[in-house]
Amino acid sequence: MAKRVNRRANRQQKITLPSIDALHDLPAFSDLRLDDAQRTAFDVFLDGAENADEMSLGFVVRLDRGYPLVVTESDVFRAEHSVSFAKQDGEKDEGLLPAVGDCVAVRRAPGHDMGVIERVLPRRTSFERWRGRSRGERQVLAANVDTILVVQPLGGGELLLGRVARSLVLARDCGLEPVVVLTKADRADDGALERDLGSVRRLVGDGVRVVVTSSATGAGIEAVRDCVAPRTSAMILGESGAGKSTLLNALLGHEALATGEVRERDDAGRHTTVSRVMVSLPGAGVIVDVPGLRSLPLVGHERGLARAFPEIAEAALECRFNDCTHTHEPGCAVRDHFEQGAFSEERLRCYLSLAREMRESARTLDPDVVI
């Protein structure tokens, strides 16, 4: 029995990672933004570090099966995290481990191929989701990104408006700017396109850009590029098969993600081993591609809900009952405002459904919902 376990452990260690030479479009250190807090934190850390001359500032630009690839001003190399890492402050929170986009203090001893990440420097932003069955499990999907490209495919049946709304709440909760990217426009006829675009626009309002694209015809690709300014970074969020990697290839002008990326169509959402890949777009910023995410539970994202639906959240403060569900209660200001035309039905419907979900997840602490 013990033997079998050992053999399995050995096999797991023989993971082949893509060779660095085969990776194209990696961002350079100078493509990424370093802020004052990060530089200061690095200087402070350096002060107390042993063999400080082995230490550099770097960015994590890929995670292949959890293994970080780091770029520094002068080099690109694989790294592992220092042993003490996961236990910083006595916690074993996955949120403390390096995520793609992280700015890190990395040590590389002379003659070593591998680096060791000693510290994750303060995150300017952190895009996270809850996963699993307890409140404690949060996953940082990308660090230091500015924009979330919320991808939804057209022409595949009913457009999942609720999914768009949920993604906006997650982005706003982390202080990030969402942009809705409707992909595969070539699959939708004019009537369907108009209908879907109309309902998305009524949902998101004027404050969020909506871009219609087709990687097949090239439509809208430049409009996506315009959403990712030089020296900013974005992450693509969408379900498996939504066309995220294809969109990225269209932006790059070649099949960038061919190096060992296996597209997974895992409807059960069991992406336990994942690659997260940051690429640098010609004439623009960087984008992080991640495997499709099915489950995006809302747990305690009230701030994101209020930011994504500010006029509804404000109206809710005027309701007679402070636990008003805005469905049947007397003195409900949300329904009053809605009847006066203050916001669309799409906004109201999504707001109510996400607010209900959050009430329930707060009660059961089981955010593992599938949408």
Query: Residue 245 interacts with Mg ion (CB under 5 A)?
Result: yes
Interaction partner, residue 324 (Mg ion, Zn ion, ligand GTP, none; CB < 5-8 Å by kind): Zn ion
Buried b (16+ CB within 10 A) or exposed e, 83-115: eebeeeeeeeebbbbbbbbbbbbbbbeeeeeeb
Phi, psi angles (nearest 5°) of residue 222:
-70, -30
| Least Å from the CB of residue 193 to ligand GTP | 13
Least separation in angstroms between CB 236 and Mg ion:
8
Task: Give the C-alpha separation, 225 to 218, whole Å.
Answer: 12
Which CB, 38 or 249, lies closer to Mg ion?
249
DSSP string, 92-149: --GGGS--TT-EEEEE--TT-SSEEEEEEPPPS-EEEEE-SSSTT-EEEEEES--EEE
Instruction: Decide: helix, strand or coil at residue 209.
Output: strand
Least Cβ distance, residue 263 to Mg ion (angstroms): 5
Judged by CB under 6 A, the stretch of 42-50, 121-129, 211-219, 333-341 that binds ligand GTP is 211-219
58 binding partner (options Zn ion, ligand GTP, Mg ion, none; Cβ < 5 to 8 Å by kind):
none
Question: x/- string (CB under 5 A) for Zn ion, residues 109-148?
Answer: ----------------------------------------
Which partner, ligand GTP, Mg ion, Zn ion, none, binds residue 187 by CB below 5 to 8 Å per kind? ligand GTP
List the interface residues with Zn ion, window 317-356 (CB under 5 A): 319, 324, 326, 332, 334
Q: CB 215 → ligand GTP: shortest distance, Å?
A: 4
The answer for residues whose C-beta is within 8 angstroms of residue 328's C-beta and 6 or more apart is none
Identify which range of 60-68, 174-182, 242-250, 279-287 contacts Mg ion by CB under 5 A. Answer: 242-250
Q: Are 358 and 316 in contact (CB under 8 A)?
A: no
* Residue 78 lies near ligand GTP (rule: CB under 6 A): no
219 vs 214: CA distance, rounded Å: 5
Residue 98 near ligand GTP by CB under 6 A: no
Q: Rounded distance, CA 323 to CA 170, Å?
A: 23
Q: Does residue 24 bind ligand GTP (CB under 6 A)?
A: no
For the beta carbon of residue 2, count every other beta carbon within 10 angstroms. 6
Q: Which amino acid is at 124?
A: R
Out of 125, 144, 147, 246, point to the residue binding ligand GTP (CB under 6 A).
Answer: 246
Number of chain residues interacting with Mg ion (CB under 5 A): 2
Q: Pick what 326 binds: ligand GTP, Mg ion, Zn ion, none; C-beta below 5 to 8 Å, kind-dependent.
A: Zn ion
The CA-based diameter of the chain, rounded to the nearest angstrom, is 73
Q: Which residues bind Mg ion (CB under 5 A)?
A: 244-245
Chain contacts with ligand GTP (rule: CB under 6 A): 183-184, 186-187, 214-216, 238, 240-246, 263-265, 291-292
